[in-house]
Amino acid sequence: MEYCDGGSLRDLSHVKLKEKHISYFAQQVLAGLEYLHEKERMHRDLKSENVLVNMEGTVKLADLGLSTTASESENNKSRMAGSKYWCAPEMISSTGYGTKADIWSFGCILHELADGNPPYGDFMPLKALYYTAKYGAPPLKNPDKWSENFLDFMAKCLDINPVERASAFELLRHPFLKTTSTRSEVKKLLQESFLLRVAERLAF
């Protein structure tokens, strides 16, 4: 695998992201998901640590070890996979799932980029799974801070009903993605994040 010197999206918790930054990363991740889903494949372990970035602003989906075909038997699709805080409700409740489970995980990444943690990230893992399956995702801590377009975009990703949840194809055409940063702005953000991480390590 090529080296991604910008780290992962999780590393960007060191810096305050604006909507235009989130829009940029969202567009890049969705392009990868659309490609996978067109090939009838599910990632099944999508989370911020598995979205890598290089210092030029190129985004890569990583760790496809749990990836599987969407056409596998219902028995296989009903097995829970992936990381607990990013699991879709239908995956937790073992009712069968498809590519829309990746969209839920993607929505959890958006939640993490906006709030610093995925949904129920402050809960113990089993409690987080229970709340996700029963109630879906909680709202952002400060919804007034975000635009209606962003909140609507997130809501379409985190619909508890996978039938109503948007696809990668649909999300790529959402107006929220028209507010994206330029690549040069993202490169500046990544450089800031890198310097902050270096400063933290030197402090130890």
Q: With CA atoms as reference, report the closest residue to 153 among 110, 201, 102.
A: 110
Q: Is 67 helix (H, G, I), strand (E, B) or coil?
A: coil
**Of the candidates 70, 72, 71, 101, the residue with the CA atom closest to the CA atom of residue 87:** 101
111, 118 in Cβ contact below 8 A?
A: yes
Triad 9, 101, 2: Cα angle to 5°: 35
pLDDT digits (tens, 9 = 90+) for 89-127: 998 888 888 899 999 999 999 999 999 999 999 999 999
pLDDT at position 73 over 50:
no
Residue 54: count of CB within 10 angstroms of its CB: 16
Q: Which of 11, 45, 102, 159 is catalytic?
A: 45
**Of 17, 14, 56, nearest to 198 (Cα)?**
14
Q: Which pLDDT score, from 0 to 100, does residue 144 have?
A: 94
Q: Is 45 a catalytic residue?
A: yes
Average pLDDT of span 135-153: 95
pLDDT class of 191 with cuts at 50, 70, 90: confident
pLDDT, average across residues 144-162: 96
- pLDDT higher for 63 or 164? 164
Q: By mean pLDDT, which of 59-63, 66-70, 129-133, 149-153 is the weakest? A: 66-70
Q: Report the chain's mean pLDDT, rounded to a whole number.
A: 87
CB atoms within 10 A of CB 157: 26
Residue 36: which of 61, 63, 11 has the closest Cα? Answer: 61
Predicted pLDDT at 51: 94
Q: What is the pLDDT of residue 152?
A: 97
